[in-house]
Structure 1
């Protein structure tokens, strides 16, 4: 039996694909999803339709030459070649040209719902509520297994450990997610929280679609306490972001937005205490000086001093009178003698 190694089989498949002239010069139309430019300058995304998905790559050199680059939710007509990426064992479409072919279905639905809810006023700034300054009970609506939950709990424990955290677990992806999110929002509001964090990590347009559901949007609008939406990454926007009272770029940022920093508060309290101590000391010192001045003035006008002064003068006059009488008597005796 002549067995292939994994690498050899992958190379063989790659050679078959690359030897096919049709796959080396092929046009494909589909909707772009999960589009992420890498730090290297390459672009990675998925091209999809109702029946399949296709992993795609645009190398940095090709991307620099393109006038239009792919964007999530939009339909594109692309040209390139199909080959195999051996380390991952998958075939990929290497794109060297792309041009818009219209909005994708999900993007069209997103824009339609966004326009309708905006017309109803659900995005109006006037209905946005301020966040509580020092919330003591914080609600979190996310998946119990989500990395976002760990990030949120770490931030809350570091910044504001005095707060009680109430979790309303829910699915954050899939067809069942919208109804569960709606129920979780209602449950956590009944728990008496002061603010709600609605969160999940990043993902493709499809992964985040539960947060573009009209039921979720109306549940956020109906929530009796402020809602902070921290869904996806900074570049991700959902309908929930527009309806929420505050939009955070990430789940961790949402946790920071709803909490004061306990360490900063302690420093502020210490500073206020020092300033108050100095102010009281300065005021007491001022009162002491004023009291000393008044006491000095009182001593100057006190009757005891005047009496003492008069008594001293009387004693002095009495002494002078005694001396004068003695002198007169001596003179009188001298005359008699």
Structure 2
């Protein structure tokens, strides 16, 4: 009986498996993927019943355009190998392909999601309304550049164009394209166009690289992404400030049409002509108004007004004087009559006062003749007898020193 060591057994198993499973294709679901600091990828593939450990070395991993994530369904091309120190067998992957969507599409969606989370799609710089300089980053030998230059010459030949030659296809294109974007950004142009003509997804893939997206994001110049045809979408379309469906459309969107500008200028000239006519008409009216005002406010006009005012005042004064004299002449008889009436009234008043004084003297004289302690009866300023009084009469009892008002309440005959 041959007795083997553990190492010998593992080596025999290793030789047997590796010789029979030099190339296998295995489909399964990714579990616990780990990107090691060494650059290698460690993961497992599983189905409903089994699981197998896998490893993909850094040199082979470079060809995988997407990132391996938990739950992805992949088709692995590789070989079976044994790790003899632990007696464990595993799959050594050479190629990885998505079991459903294409690998490039998965890589596109992964990068798009990553950049959106970093805010690369939120930065939008305004495109100037009137572009004076354009920096075009594309292949100097491509048909897309000739199309853009032809449309520039047709629409707005006054614009200054900088052409920054760049690779737009191939493995080295992404690095070269990012460097060209940095150069174009340093030229101080009003806007930058980054693009190329149509092609397959592989041909356009450099515009889906993160290094290109980062260069567009960091650029200070507003960027227009013009890649492929209208149906083609690349990462640069989302990071750029404006997406144009084609390179030709990019020129049409940022440059005005000289024919439209000329028509617009004709319209402005017509409006300006009409406006100038209106302004001149208004100014003529203002001038006539000023002339009339100056004529009315001129020194000769003012002297004439003052002369007329003096004449009017003189005539008014003369007329007022005549009226005053006539009025005074007419007022003399009236004044004499009023004076006569006033003197007559004063004379009558003095006469009445004299009569009153005479009555008072007479009453005082009579009161003096009354016995001491008696008084005489006075009604309406005249002494009366008691027999002349009536019930309700108001009279005064008067002596030399006092006068008392009384009212007759009753009258009896003694």
Q: TM-score, normalised by structure 1?
A: 0.58
- 1:104 shift after superposition: 1.1
Match of 2:103 in 1: 105
Partners of 2:212 and 2:282 lie apart in 1 by 63
Tell me how far apart the structure 2 counterparts of residues 284 and 180 of structure 1 sit (CA, whole Å): 63
Alignment of 1:84-99 (within 5 A): none
Pair 1:123-2:93 in alignment: no
SS state at 1:102 partner:
coil
Structure 2 equivalent of residue 219 of structure 1: 215
Determine the C-alpha separation between the residues in 2 that align with 1:109 and 1:262: 43
Secondary structure at the aligned position of 1:181 is classed as helix
Q: Residue deviations 1:263-285, cap 9 Å, x none?
A: 32232233223212221221111
Q: Contact 2:174 / 2:212 at 8 angstroms: preserved in 1?
A: yes
Is 1:187 matched with 2:183?
yes
Determine if contact 1:131/1:226 at 8 Å carries over to the other structure.
yes
Displacement of 1:242: 0.6
Out of 102, 106, 130, the residue aligned to residue 134 of structure 1 is 130
SS in structure 1 at match of 2:100: strand
Find the aligned partners of 2:183 and 2:284 in 1 and give their Cα distance: 61
Aligned residues: 211
Larger relative contact order (C-alpha < 8 A, sep ≥ 6)?
Answer: 1
C-alpha contact (below 8 Å) 1:299/1:305 kept by paired residues: no
Matched, 1:278 2:279: no
2:229 maps to what in 1?
233
In the alignment, the residues of structure 1 paired with residue 211 and residue 201 of structure 2 have an alpha-carbon distance, to the nearest angstrom, of 18
Q: Distance in 1 between matches of 2:175 and 2:217?
A: 15
In the alignment, structure 2 segments of 5+ residues that lack a partner are 1-73, 75-97, 309-414
Q: CA RMSD in A?
A: 2.6
- For 2:256, which of 227, 241, 260 is the aligned residue? 260
State whether residues 188 and 221 of structure 2, in contact with CA within 8 Å, keep that contact through their aligned partners in structure 1.
Answer: no
Structure 1 residue 292 displacement after superposition = 2.0
Using the TM superposition, give the Cα deviation of residue 294 of structure 1 relative to its aligned residue in structure 2, in angstroms.
4.3
Matched, 1:145 2:115: no
TM-score (norm 2): 0.47
| Cα distance per residue 1:40-79 (max 9 Å; x no partner) | xxxxxxxxxxxxxxxxxxxxxxxxxxxxxxxxxxx9xxxx
Change (3 A) 1:206 1:293: same
Structure 1 residue 307: Cα displacement: 5.0
- Displacement after TM superposition at 1:170 (Å): 1.1
Question: C-alpha separation between the residues in 2 aligned to 1:194 and 1:287?
Answer: 43
SS in 2 for 1:165: strand
CA contact (8 A) 2:209 2:235 kept: yes
Q: How far off is 1:304 after superposition? A: 5.0
User: Retained in 2: the 8 A contact 1:216–1:240?
Assistant: yes
Q: CA deviation at 1:116?
A: 0.5
| Alpha-carbon distance between aligned partners in 2 of 1:104 and 1:307, rounded to the nearest angstrom | 105
Distance in 2, matches of 1:212 and 1:294, equals: 74
CA distance in 1, matches of 2:295, 2:190: 64
Q: Deviations over 1:82-133 (max 9, x none)?
A: xxxxxxxxxxxxxxxxxx9621111111111111011101011xx1000112
SS at match of 1:161: coil
Q: Secondary structure at the match of 1:140?
A: strand
3-state SS in 2 of match to 1:260: coil
Structure 1 match to 2:192: 196
Structure 1: segments with no counterpart, 5+ residues: 1-74, 76-99, 312-337
Q: Take 2:99 and 2:146, find their aligned partners in 1: how far apart are those partners?
A: 41
Query: Would the aligned equivalents of 1:212 and 1:240 in 2 still touch at CA under 8 Å?
Result: yes
